[in-house]
Amino acid sequence: MKKLLLSLTGLITLSALAVQFETGGPECKITIVGGGPSGVYTAMRLGEKHGKDVCLFEKEKKLGGRLNDIRKNPESEKGPLIAIGGRRVMNSQKLMFDLANELGVKLERPAEKAGEFLFARGLYSSNKDQFKSRYPGLPIDLKKGDFETQLLMKLFKSPERKKIKSYPSLRSYIESVVGTVGFNYLKDMSRFRGDFTYPLNAESYLDWLEEEFDVCCTAYYAVGGMTSFVKGMEKKAKSFGVQFFMSEPIYSINRDFVSGYNLITSKKSFDTEKVIIAVPPVALPKIKGDVVDSIIKQSEFKSLIGIKVATVTQWFNKAWWKGIKRLSDNKTIWRAVTTDSCINSIEIPQEPYLINAKAIRTVYSDRRECAEHFAFLSKTNPKRLEKEVHDGLKHLFEENGITIPVKVSHPTKTVFKEWKAGWYWIKAGSKHTNKDVSTWAANPLPGESVGLASEGYNPQRTAWTDGAIQAAIYLLNKQYEMNISL
C-alpha cells in the first residue's frame, strides 16, 4: 500500500504542473480505456445492459483509432472522407456484414472488376507469373500456373510444418521449404514487405496466413469510410447512456483495495470496479500504474511485435489516375505495387463513393526504412517528401508499357501518417501461439476485473477490423458472461 501511494503521489506531482483535477470524478462501474473499434464496440455491447455505468476515455478528440478517415478541410462537414487507416471488408467476413446491417452502415463494391500491376527487378507486369525469369530456380510447376499460390501451398503442406516450432524464424522456415529464391519472390510480390523482413514466429504466421488465404474475394467499402462503423457504434452506445470522455488520456491505472481500481486522467482521478484496456500493445506501456506493469511484464505481451506503417494521402486539382487502364484489355487498375521506391503500393478507389473524388492514398508502405524515412521528411522537409512521392508515381504510371500513360500532377495538399504499429505478430523465438495470446488477453490478470480488447492482441486476425471486434467479443464472452457468436 505504501508503494502504491508513493507511485500515485509521484504521478500526481508530475501531472499537476499541467492539470487541475476535477473534484468528484464520474460515476463509472466499468471503464473502457481507448476509443478504437474494439473499445467502442465493447461500450456498445456493455451499454445495452449497464447504461451510464459504462465510461469510455479516448486521448484523441475523435474516436476510431486505426479506422481514420479525413477530409481535405478537417473543419468542414463537406467533401469525401479518405482513409488513412483501414479501408475495406471482404465478402467472407460475415462478422463485419452482420455489424454493418445492425448499424445501418452501407457497404458498396466496385462497379467492375479492376486489375493490378507490379514493378520488381526491372520488370513491369500485370501477371505475377511473368516475373519467373527474374527469379531463376523458382521451385514451381509451369503447368500448374499461379506461382505465388503454388509457393504458399508448399508452405502450408510441407512435411517441415510438423516441426515448424523448431524453426527460429518465419524466414528460416520459408527458405527451408521454397529456398531463398522462393522467399524473395514472395516478398517482392506482396505489398506487405514488412512481414518478410521483421523477425517473426514461423508457426503463428503460417497459422494466420492459411486462414488469410481464405479471406476473399470481393472487397466492399463503407460509404463514408470505415469510421461509419465507429460512428454507428458510438451512436448506439450513447443511446444506452454510455459516457464518452474525449481528449482525455488515461495516465495511470492502479489497484484500489476498496473500490477496485483507481484511474488518473489528464483532468480527474476516479474509482471504478472494472477496467477494459482497449489500446494497442505499442501504446500500453505509456500508461503507468501497477495494473499495466503487471500486464506488460508477462511473456504473452512481450511476445508481440508491431509492424510500422506509413501512409501518404494527397489531394489534386484533378483525378489524374482515372486515365490509368491496361493497354492489353482497357481494364481499369485498382492497385500498383513497386519495389522501386518507398511508395510500396498505391490503391486507386473504384467504389462509387470515392470514384470521382480528387484525393487518393498515394503511399502505403510497411517497409521499416521507408516508414522511418518518410516520417523524418514529414517533419524536416515536406517538399522533399512530396517530390519523392511524385517521382515514384511517375515511375509507376507515366511510361510502364502496361497501362495507358498518364501525366502525374502535383498535389494541392499532402497528409502523412505514421502508424507505430499497423498490425501485430508473434516474435521469433516466442513459444506462444496466436490462440495463446488472444485467450490470455481476455483475462490477463486472473482473479481481477481487467481485460485487453484490441486487434493487436488477436494475431490470428491482425490487420483487419473484424480482428478488433473479435478481440472485444472474446473479452465480453469470458468476463461479462455474454454469448456473442463469432
Q: Are 39 and 58 in contact (CB under 8 A)?
A: yes
- What long-range pairs does 284-290 form, CB within 8 A, spacing at least 24? 287/33, 287/250, 287/251, 287/252, 287/253, 288/7, 288/11, 288/251, 288/252, 288/253, 289/7, 289/11, 289/252, 289/253, 289/254, 290/4, 290/7, 290/254, 290/255
Helices and strands (H, E) in the chain, number of each type: 14, 20
Tell me, what's the pLDDT at 168?
A: 97
pLDDT at position 26 is 84
pLDDT digits over 195-236, tens only?
999 999 999 999 999 999 989 889 999 999 999 999 999 999
* 339, 184 Cβ separation under 8 angstroms: no
pLDDT in tens, 310-341: 999 999 999 999 999 999 999 999 999 999 99
All domains of the chain in start order, with CATH: 2-66+225-303+429-479 (3.50.50.60)
This prediction's pTM: 0.93
Question: What is the CB neighbour count within 10 angstroms for residue 181?
Answer: 15
Helix axes 434-441, 202-212, angle to 10 degrees: 90
**Residue in 476, 382, 464, 446 with CA at minimum distance from that of residue 94:** 464
pLDDT tens digit string along 140-157? 999 998 999 999 999 999
Measure the CA–CA gap between 390 and 396, rounded to whole angstroms: 10
Please, which residues have CB within 8 angstroms of residue 391's CB and are 6 or more apart in sequence?
Answer: 341
| DSSP letter, residue 57 | E
Phi then psi for residue 311, to 5 deg, are -130, 150
Instruction: Name the H helices within 145-218.
Output: 147-157, 170-189, 194-197, 202-212
Cell output for 116: 493490378
- Percent of the chain predicted with pLDDT > 70: 95
Model confidence band, residue 16 (pLDDT cutoffs 50, 70, 90): very low
* 362, 343 Cβ separation under 8 angstroms: yes
pLDDT of residue 350: 92
Q: Nearest to residue 320, comparing CAs of 411, 387, 235?
A: 411
225 Ramachandran zone, left/alpha/beta (phi>0; psi -120 to 50): left
Calculate what percentage of the chain has a pLDDT beyond 90: 90
Instruction: Enumerate the H helices of 297-408 as residue ranges.
Output: 299-302, 368-380, 382-397
Q: Smallest Cα–Cα separation from 90: which of 205, 207, 280, 222?
A: 222
Residue given cell 507515366 in the structure block:
398
Given the C-alpha cell 498515394, which residue does it identify? 362
Concatenated DSSP letters of 76-114: -S-S--EESS---EETT-HHHHHHHHHHT--EE--SS--
Rounded average pLDDT over 48-65: 97
